[in-house]
Amino acid sequence: MNNEVYLPNVPQTSDKTWAIVARKGQKKARVDNSIKTQITAGNKNAPRVLNKDNSITPVSDKRLFLRLPQEHEWKKLSPAGIREIVVKKLAISPSLIGKIKPVHSGFALSPSSIEARDKILDAGNGLFFSGAKLEEATNWVSVIIPTVAASIRKEQGEVEVSKIMLDDEVERVCSMRPAHLKLYGGNKAEAPHCTWMAFFSKALSSSFKVFDESGVARKFKKQQPLDFFKRCNGHHPTKNSSRAPSCGNCGSTNHP
């Protein structure tokens, strides 16, 4: 009689079953650090190819500006009226001028070509007796002059501060006459003070005050609008929101 006991064959489980993978975790292939270092070093030493098509080139402003005093009668004209009177005063062809756009200091003229621009500039003396000036585009430096008194008291009584008076005062205190001067912001007529903006052809070396009682003039910097985060539906600025992408299932930003 044979007393040997035969055990049933146990099937071998694969290491790739979902239960084992979930318990042990998926093993990642090993990376040789020496090979990785060589590849990285080779990439650093490789010459960089610059795309010449994407190079940034400064774009110069080719417009011409028709500078007009604040009370000039041409200020009320439309662009079509300005075109007619400029063509008449300069004795040039209407085809030399493209678009005409109103600006704070007058009108901006866009010549149809570089040759047309030169012809318009050469004929600019025809505006000498009209009180208008034809100038090339310039990079003006904007300066804010805050809390300028609306009127000052002199020996002859209270005098309203005009644009010409402020021009002279600015030239006195900083030895440079502004190229253009205008009221800035929503100034009320009955307010005792107002804010002016002065434009200079070059940067000033120091700050200044006008009439010894205004605020300190400073360089104008346009305020950048707040950038709101799109994932917060525009309710929070980007500086207060997480930059990490949120999980599509749970909404968490802690996932790698």
Of residues 61 and 27, more confidence is placed in 61
- The Cα 198–Cα 143 span in angstroms is 5
Q: Does 183 map to a domain?
A: yes
Q: For 18-31, what is the mean pLDDT? A: 58
DSSP string covering 142-193, please? EEEEEEEESEEEETTEEEE--HHHHHHHHHHHHS---SEEEE-S---TT-SE
Domain tally, the chain:
2
Within this chain, do residues 150 and 203 fall inside the same structural domain, yes or no?
yes
Q: Does 99 map to a domain?
A: yes
Q: Does 8 map to a domain?
A: no
Secondary structure E strands in 14-150: 64-67, 97-103, 106-111, 133-136, 141-149
Position 9 scores a pLDDT of: 63
Q: Does 203 map to a domain?
A: yes
Phi-psi region of 91 (alpha: psi -120 to 50; beta: other; left: phi over 0): left
Query: b vs e for 220-235, b when ≥16 Cβ sit within 10 Å of the residue's Cβ?
Result: eeeeeeeeebeeeeee
Which pLDDT band holds residue 219 (cuts at 50, 70, 90)?
Answer: confident
Within this chain, do residues 70 and 127 fall inside the same structural domain, yes or no?
yes
DSSP state of 250: T
Of residues 140 and 227, more confidence is placed in 140
CA dihedral (112, 113, 114, 118) positive or negative:
negative
- What is the pLDDT of the chain when averaged over all its residues? 77
Radius of gyration of the chain (CA): 36
Prediction pTM value: 0.47
> For residue 117, is pLDDT > 50?
yes
Q: Does 214 map to a domain?
A: yes
Q: Does 241 map to a domain?
A: no
Within this chain, do residues 103 and 157 fall inside the same structural domain, yes or no?
no
> For residue 161, is pLDDT > 80?
yes
Q: Does 235 map to a domain?
A: no
Q: Does 30 map to a domain?
A: no
Within this chain, do residues 80 and 93 fall inside the same structural domain, yes or no?
yes
- The domain of 170 spans 141-219
